Amino acid sequence: MGDAIREQSDEDQDPREEFPVEYQEETPLEIQEIKLKAGMPQDTANENLCKHTQDTQTFLVTPTKGMAYIDGTATKMTVCIENSQHPLIIESGAHCSIVARNYLEHHIPNWEKQLLPTKTKNFKSVSGKIPSFGKIIKETIIPHRKGNIRLNPEPVVLEDAHIQGFLLGTDY
């Protein structure tokens, strides 16, 4: 009879108790880092990047107080362009958005067919003039914790730009 009771209690046992969950206490510093990351749009999960998007005209982004919006990594993020993910750098000091020709050749098919003329043919840098091919208009979806944002920047395609991805200037 003792065996019957033991067998019955094994069947009634909760299977979750077999694999106990380990709890690790977090330090206050780790908790602060988690809170800071929660308010940073570039740390948004990338699997939902191309969904739930709003136009920029109807969406106002207001920073949450004390959420590390001036952190140096806040200008780097992953965006969705033509249903694929691409790196983007937000540069508030750049008067126009740019992208390197070699980046487009490797990551965006048929980009040459989408070229439009630009007003300025040559751009200047520290090393001299950089020739441009034109500009392309690409719908860009930027992730944000309150909903994704849709922009239509017009990056200028430069010959010798040494950036891997898009640089978003103030022309959007």
Q: What percent of the chain has pLDDT over 90?
A: 0
The whole-number average pLDDT for the span 6-24 is 50
**Which distant-in-sequence residues (6+ apart) come within 8 Å of 150 by Cβ?**
53, 54, 55, 56, 139, 140, 141, 142
Please give the backbone phi and psi of residue 136, each rounded to the nearest 5 degrees, phi first.
Answer: -125, 150
Q: Mean pLDDT throughout 139-146?
A: 80
- Say what the pLDDT of residue 19 is: 45
Higher pLDDT, 79 or 170: 79
Query: What's the rounded Cα separation, in Å, for the pair 5 and 2?
Result: 5
Helix ranges restricted to H, the chain: 2-12, 28-38, 101-107
State residue 23's pLDDT score. Answer: 44
User: Which amino acid does the sequence have at 155?
Assistant: P
Give the chain's radius of gyration (CA, Å): 25
List, in sequence order, every residue forming a beta bridge with 166; answer none if it has no partner.
88, 99
Q: Across the chain, what does the average pLDDT equal?
A: 70
- Quote the pLDDT of residue 31: 64
What does the alpha-carbon distance between residue 127 and residue 129 come to, in Å, rounded to a whole number? 7
- Residue-level pLDDT at 48: 52
CA distance 67 to 128: 40
Q: How far is CA 150 from CA 14, 43, 134, 144, in A?
A: 48, 17, 22, 11
Confidence category of residue 166, pLDDT binned at 50, 70, 90: confident
Residue of higher predicted confidence among 12 and 110: 110
Query: When comparing pLDDT for 65 and 139, which is higher?
Result: 139
CA dihedral 21, 27, 28, 32 (to 10 degrees): -70
Q: What mean pLDDT do residues 136-164 have?
A: 82
Local confidence band at 22 (pLDDT 50, 70, 90 cut-offs): very low
pTM of the model: 0.56
Find out whether 73 and 42 touch, Cβ atoms under 8 Å. yes
Under a CB-based contact definition with an 8 Å cutoff, are residues 159 and 132 in contact?
yes
What is the model's pLDDT at position 63?
A: 56
